[in-house]
Amino acid sequence: MKAIILAAGRGIRFGKMTEATPKCMLKLGVKSILHHQVDTLNNAGVQENVIVKGYLSNKIPSLGMREYINSDYANTNMLYSLFCAKKELYGDVIISYADVIYENALLNKLLEISTADINVVIDKDWKEYYQERFGNPFSEAESLILSPNHTILNIGESSPCTMNVQGQYIGLIRLNDNGCKLFKEYYEYLAGYCNEKWKFRGRSFKCLYMTDFLQILIDKGVTIKAIPVSNGWLEFDSVSDYKLAIKWHASGILKRFFRNDI
């Protein structure tokens, strides 16, 4: 099994904090966000780690990972970054955003119970964490609608009605070999089909979010399985996210949401 970590973006919401340091290299405790993630993957027995770099790539250590570069990181998004490492999409693959960390127990659950071609981790108990981050938990929530058997019907729409938020995507996906083939097949289809005027949710092909691509797959009839968890992860999407995690760590209350040692 391998993990592909997507670490190309600058994190413009961090402003001056990321002028000289990539977001994934900001420290929480004694280690960087990236180090926390790699340690969790290694502890779970993931044999190979791959990283896609872009912004300030020379400031991100390899940590024994194979490296790919998204040289167009300023004009693209997560999906494009993933396909900079297209040749790694075979076998059993974890796809992970570089600005999240997750507990050992959460990753182990994904490894133990994910049996579908495409498996997406969602937090069913997201509201308290979002309440602490944003005040109103629905202000930054995206749509996530599940079928009775926990397949995903809708994901990633902004400003959804509250009844259409049955969890939150955390930036962690697992593919088996057929899932990898489906990702490549539909990405290549889009690459050949889309022109400069084509948009999905207002975004061009090169700027598609990962959730956009998942929704396109769903609309084409591809089954995507939700792996539900209860907290156990942290996202660093803004300065306030980062400062809040540091505050929680210093005050000893971080374990409300994240129970790995920091």
In tens, the pLDDT along 157-194 reads 999 999 999 999 999 999 999 999 999 999 999 999 89
What pLDDT is stored for residue 27 in this prediction? 96
Secondary structure class of 89 (helix, strand, coil)? coil
Is the residue at 185 inside a domain? yes
Under 8 Å between Cβ of 123 and 231: yes
| Residue ranges in the chain assigned as alpha helix (H) | 33-43, 78-82, 104-113, 127-134, 177-193, 210-219, 239-251
Token couple for 134: 């944003």
Question: Do the bridges between strand 152-158 and strand 31-32 make them parallel or antiparallel, or are there none, so unpaired?
Answer: unpaired
From CA 230, how far away is CA 222, in angstroms rounded? 26
Is the residue at 262 inside a domain? no
User: Strand (E) positions, the chain?
Assistant: 2-7, 27-28, 31-32, 48-53, 66-69, 93-97, 100-102, 118-123, 142-146, 152-158, 168-175, 225-229, 233-235
What pLDDT is stored for residue 47 in this prediction? 84
Is the residue at 65 inside a domain? yes
Q: Residue 71 gets which letter from DSSP?
A: T
Tally of domains in the chain = 1
Is the residue at 69 inside a domain? yes
What pLDDT is stored for residue 37 in this prediction? 97
What pLDDT is stored for residue 62 in this prediction? 87
pLDDT digit string (tens) for 110-143? 999 888 999 999 999 999 999 999 999 999 999 9
Q: Residue 151 gets which letter from DSSP?
A: B
What pLDDT is stored for residue 114 in this prediction? 81
Is the residue at 261 inside a domain? no
Is the residue at 8 inside a domain? yes
Q: Which residues pair with 144 in a beta bridge?
A: 155, 165
CATH code of the domain in which 206 resides:
3.90.550.10
Is the residue at 109 inside a domain? yes
Which structural domain range is residue 63 located in? 2-256
Under 8 Å between Cβ of 52 and 70: yes
* CA contacts within 13 A on the Cβ side of 112: 9
From CA 90, how far away is CA 178, in angstroms rounded? 8
What pLDDT is stored for residue 240 in this prediction? 97
What pLDDT is stored for residue 61 in this prediction? 94
What pLDDT is stored for residue 262 in this prediction? 87
In the chain, which residues have pLDDT < 70? Answer: none
